Amino acid sequence: MKSTIDFLIAAKRCEIAELGRLAKTSALVDATASLVHELQRERGLSNLYLGSGGVRADGPMREQRQASDSSEAALRACLDRLDIDPARAGNGARLFARVAQLLCALDALPGLRAEIDQLTPSTDRATAAYVRLVAGLLAVVFEAADSAADPGISRQLVALFNFMQGKEFAGQERAAGTAMLAGERARTAAQQRLLHLIDAQERCLAVFADFAGPAHQDAWQAHQAPPVLAGLERLRRILCTAPADGSLDNSLGPEWFEACSQRIDRMRAVEKRLADALVQSCHDRSAAAQTDLLALDAGRHREPAWTGAAGAPAGVICAEQAFPLDDSDALDAGVFGPQLVRSILDLAHEQARRLRTLGAELDTARSSLEDRKLIERAKGLLMAHRQLTEEEAHRTLRRMAMERNRRLAEVAEAVLAMAELLPVRPR
């Protein structure tokens, strides 16, 4: 007959297996972040190359492609180490589907590069292609965060995902500004997109701050001091406040690229710190769980000498004694007998308490991801039914939220509920 300690050992082994999966997923997230960073830089250099008609950034662009290829190889190695057996993979369905889509996109990258070499695509089309590729990489991180069962690790994943998304918007800002300067004209639509990307960065970084630990927040704030961003802010004002259809000095292109790149490189340092902390958390939690398992396994081979409670036969312990209703209640050594038995009961009590209290924390982390899903779906619906751009759809949702004094996610949910009533407006 299976005993209490048998089930505690089984629970601990399940926890260790889940932490093992999370460790591999965290390594995948780290490799994904590295490839995103390299592709963001490749995108920016490709825009400089295309915008200058092949005059600028040819050598740096080709060197950067080699760095991207190295990071891609590391990512593919991580994917090879993932366990895709459905019996052991846990909640892998959505994650694996995203990975399959990503691999298809990565296989198409050489074709995009060949077109860029021939100066075939516009800066806008090349940027859009890289944006889709990076979005596929970020989708893998999103699914990893959404499937994590450990609350602490889930919070770290949510913080990292939002920071990565904010960094991607910073990369898109670099690309959009480069394209504006290459065109030498301040187009209203391009200026609105630039403002949208700046606002989107701030929103993502605000969520990051809510979920990241104080040390990570401090590390990021150290990179946000006004003197550090002074050059970028000056160039932002030039691009965003120029008169509609006014001329722009394309000689500012390299200065803009460098100012944006310096900020993105600082973001990469924080991003790497977040990714390293995530991997370390998985290892630390797994080591602690292994220690608990060894103690439990050792205890199973000893014969406990139970001391019965007053008035109760030896070996009989009521539920209220084993698991007090008040979490502050201490276990009574006089009731539970030897230290070994008490340790086992302490562990059972602690595990039950931890599952109750951390459930709310996990719900909070997943709520952030669910809100994002709702907002993205509502934006897609508005884009399809109203023929809006992504920026216009987001502004529409924000305006509705402010007018109704509601959270953005609540407005998004209401929009989705009215899907069949939304008219289709041709352009």
Tokens of 19: 């932490």
- Does 119 have pLDDT greater than 50? yes
**3-class state of residue 239 by DSSP:** helix
Kindly report the pTM of this predicted structure.
0.72
Distance, CA of 261 to CA of 266 (rounded, Å): 8
- Facing residues of 397 across strands? none
DSSP code of 305? Answer: -
Q: How far is CA 92 from the centre of its chain?
A: 16
Distance, CA of 40 to CA of 265 (rounded, Å): 11
Say what the pLDDT of residue 355 is. Answer: 53
DSSP per-residue string spanning 278-298: HHHHHHHHHHHHHHHHHHHHH
- Does 80 have pLDDT greater than 70? yes
Q: Minimal CA–CA distance to 280: which of 229, 219, 236, 216?
A: 216
- Does 315 have pLDDT greater than 50? no
**Environment class of 53 (CB within 10 Å of its CB; exposed 0-12, middle 13-18, buried 19+):** exposed
DSSP code of 387? Answer: -
Summarize pLDDT for 176-215 with one digit per residue, the tens.
898 888 888 888 888 888 888 998 898 889 889 888 888 8
Say what the pLDDT of residue 308 is. Answer: 41
Say what the pLDDT of residue 420 is. Answer: 56
Please list, in sequence order, all residues whose beta carbon lies within 8 angstroms of the beta carbon of residue 398, skipping any fewer than 6 positions away: 408
Distance, CA of 160 to CA of 25 (rounded, Å): 13
CATH 1.10.10.10 fits 302-421, yes or no: yes
Q: Minimal CA–CA distance to 401: which of 427, 375, 419?
A: 375
Distance, CA of 95 to CA of 53 (rounded, Å): 40
Mean pLDDT of 282-300: 82
Summarize pLDDT for 232-280 with one digit per residue, the tens.
999 999 998 888 888 898 888 889 989 999 999 999 999 999 999 988 9
Q: Where are the domains of the chain?
A: 4-288, 302-421
Distance, CA of 332 to CA of 267 (rounded, Å): 52
Summarize pLDDT for 207-241 with one digit per residue, the tens.
898 888 888 988 888 887 777 688 899 999 999 88
Report the greatest alpha carbon distance in the chain: 93
Say what the pLDDT of residue 61 is. Answer: 95
